[in-house]
Amino acid sequence: MDWIRSFGPKTKRFNLYDTTGIKQELDKTIISVVSSDKDFYKDNFYINLKIILGFTSLGVAGLVYSFSCPTQQCQVKTFVSVITFFLLSLLGPWFIQSWENKAIVFGTLHNYKVRIETKLGRYDNCFEATIEVVKGTQQKQFQWTVPYNNYFNTNGVFLEQNFQAAFLKFYEDSKANTY
């Protein structure tokens, strides 16, 4: 009869000090709450930029490699193209990471630019979410700090509906105070 239970919904269990896994699960829930808002449009600029940088570096490497030339010259050109590919692949995500910082969601909501950042320190009991709303020169920040222990039971199972309800209330309150 145990095989019947394996087809049911899987519950994720977390260790108390697995802050990376806990933060990823909380971030995923926040993204699902924000994405379900019909007025919110997710901005994919940074994702598109990552893809363009990757294709550019591959194109440079492939273009240099495809030229027919004597063996000695081809080795140098191929080496330079591989180094260029490596540097673009290495620097691209670094630049994007510095732009994104701790943000998990970028988008627009009623002509306002919205950025949501989250933070969960190592061995820290509090989860912080910040919604930054910008329109022109006006900028508002809404901060939400909660102990994440409230959203996990004693076995370490994530209580997603409770967290969704709490974050949705914060999200709706920040939307109401923006307009």
The confidence score (pLDDT) of residue 95 equals 72
Side-chain-facing half-sphere of 78: CA atoms under 13 Å: 11
Query: 147: helix, coil or strand?
Result: strand
Rounded CA-CA distance 6/51 in Å is 38
The confidence score (pLDDT) of residue 69 equals 65
- Partnered with residue 127 across adjacent β-strands are 146
DSSP states of 79-124: HHHHHHHHHHHHHHHHHHHHHHTTEEEEEEETTEEEEEEEE--TT-
Side-chain-facing half-sphere of 168: CA atoms under 13 Å: 12
Residue 81 vs residue 107, higher pLDDT: 107
Dump pLDDT digits (tens) for 1-52.
444 545 555 667 777 677 888 888 888 999 899 888 888 888 777 778 778 8
The confidence score (pLDDT) of residue 10 equals 64
- Percentage of the chain lying above the pLDDT 70 cut: 81
The confidence score (pLDDT) of residue 1 equals 47
Q: Which of 7, 27, 3, 6 is nearest to 158 (CA)?
A: 27
Residue 139: DSSP 8-state:
E
Minimum mean pLDDT range among 63-72, 131-140, 144-153:
63-72
With bands split at pLDDT 50, 70 and 90, how would you rate the model's confidence at 142?
very high
What lies within 8 Å, CB to CB, of 17 at 6+ separation is: 123
Rounded CA-CA distance 14/2 in Å is 22
How confident is the prediction for the chain on average, in pLDDT?
Answer: 79
The confidence score (pLDDT) of residue 143 equals 93
Contact status, residue 149 vs residue 126, Cβ threshold 8 Å: no
Rounded CA-CA distance 73/56 in Å is 22
* Token representation of residue 111: 């002509």
Dump pLDDT digits (tens) for 114-137.
888 998 888 778 899 999 988 888
Q: In this structure, which amino acid lies at residue 21?
A: G
The confidence score (pLDDT) of residue 123 equals 78
Averaged pLDDT for residues 134-155: 87
The confidence score (pLDDT) of residue 82 equals 74
Rounded CA-CA distance 149/124 in Å is 10
With bands split at pLDDT 50, 70 and 90, how would you rate the model's confidence at 145?
very high
